[in-house]
A and B are shown apart, each in its own frame.
Chain A
């Protein structure tokens, strides 16, 4: 479903951020990405939603190749992905509902279908009663739930979360993580970059550890490691 084949990403000024990474993520899988700051986790995730392109190698996501995808292909791909960040990236002058609806409006969904879909995902993330609140009126955990609702509203096959709990306290972190597990249980793959080793240690999920751009440990290697590697 998502396949990295000998992917290297080199930035002009900062050098190599991702170094010859080959990796496969199956449909419905939950994968933690971990490693020290600057290891290349964010860069790796950016290449999944084609915000960055590999310098060499190829990323294939659900039939879309980083080698040949054009602007329109990228837009089409992103409608099938959900993306959340540490800093939520909500529009402050819009309510929670409007923030979620925004993702539908700008991708050309039929206006009549929008309110019911928005209500459904807001309920899914546990914000049924807070649709009319503006982001500054919500707690950090609640804001992240709005962002997750926005990511889910187009029924993505994978949720990409780059340190989604980075700005949250322990309780909120557990809540958000519980939500991500539920989403994953519903069949959506989750790629999550995190520094929270406590969280990882308590889970049985696949963990990919990076350092200086390279994958230094992949808990999937033991069982299906070589097979998962791209040729």
Chain B
């Protein structure tokens, strides 16, 4: 085994509890990132799907002639911003609602839903201003009761995603600092335990880089192990959510790798600071 690796593993053997502690704190730091990252990721996923769905739904008053509805839908379809305008009859609206709600379909037994013209805008005209402009024009039809364009709750989702992102980053960074301090402390103890050896190394002409290397490797190993643990915890958390709450998507491989890399970086920096301080002092 190369000397650097062997020396790096000595601490795991000498103080397994502290080593475990530093791995777990790194794991928690990354877990916080991961959990809130998942929330943000899933909200973004929902937002993407929502964007492709109906942007504007114009509800038609009860008793309107089907021909009038069809003509209106045709008119709307010719607006320059509009990609598609589709007439949804009362029966179709009911069927769709039941389909979307799955097991709660019984709620709609015997209910009536209004017919609507569902308008999809061309890409590039999906911003709130364009949506509002088109909605106003559609509202001008006398038999249109109400026009909804879900702008409100899309904006709320956007806000929620931002909150989830910021909370994840804030919590994650806090944990990151804590884990760096804890790693730094364990490495410091490892350095002190080997202070005599280090002093002799310097005396016979070992470079500081050489002396530092096993400690840095030790930090990196701990960081990667913490990252793996965090990935496992996030995966289990997501599996639980999928089982008991809602279907969610998981990070792709690249993001997972990035998490491991971040763990390695935390471990590296924690030990670099700690060893650097020791070497400068003696």
Contacts and interface: CB of A to CB of B under 8 A. Distances in A.
A91 B205 contact: no
A172 to B, nearest CB: 22
B3 A78 contact: no
B207 A71 contact: yes
A26 B203 CA distance: 23
Interface stretch (A104-112, A127-135, A200-208, A219-227): A104-112
Interface string A107-125: 1100000000000000000
**Which size bracket describes the interface of A in this complex?**
20 to 34
A78 B203 contact: yes
B204 A103 contact: yes
Contacts of A71: 207-208
B196 interface: yes
A174 interface: no
A27 interface: no
Contact of B200 (A49, A89, A154): A89
Contacts of A76: 205
Interface string A60-87: 0000000000011001111111010000
A102 interface: yes
Contacts of A106: 201, 204-206, 210-211
A116 B206 CA distance: 21
A53 interface: no
B207 A75 contact: yes
Given A89-B200, A91-B197, A91-B200, A105 B207 contact: no
Contacts of B200: 89, 91, 102
A106 B204 CA distance: 8
Contact of A107 (B196, B197, B199, B204): B204
Contacts of B207: 71-72, 75
Nearest to A71: B208
A9 interface: no
A78 B210 contact: no
B49 to A, nearest CB: 58
B199 to A, nearest CB: 8
Contacts of B204: 78-79, 83, 102-103, 106-107, 150, 154
B196 A79 contact: no
Interface centre among B196, B202, B207 (most CB of A within 10 A): B207
B196 A77 contact: no
Interface centre among B203, B204, B208 (most CB of A within 10 A): B204
A108 B206 CA distance: 8
A130 to B, nearest CB: 20
Contact of B196 (A72, A78, A91, A154): A91
Nearest to A99: B200
Contacts of A79: 204-205
Interface of A: 49, 71-72, 75-81, 83, 89, 91, 102-103, 105-108, 150, 154
Given A72-B207, A102-B204, 9 more contacts: A71-B208, A78-B203, A83-B204, A89-B199, A91-B200, A103-B205, A106-B205, A106-B210, A150-B204
Interface of B: 3, 196-197, 199-208, 210-211
16 contacts: A49-B203, A72-B207, A77-B205, A78-B202, A78-B204, A79-B205, A80-B205, A89-B196, A89-B203, A91-B200, A102-B200, A103-B205, A106-B201, A106-B204, A106-B205, A154-B205
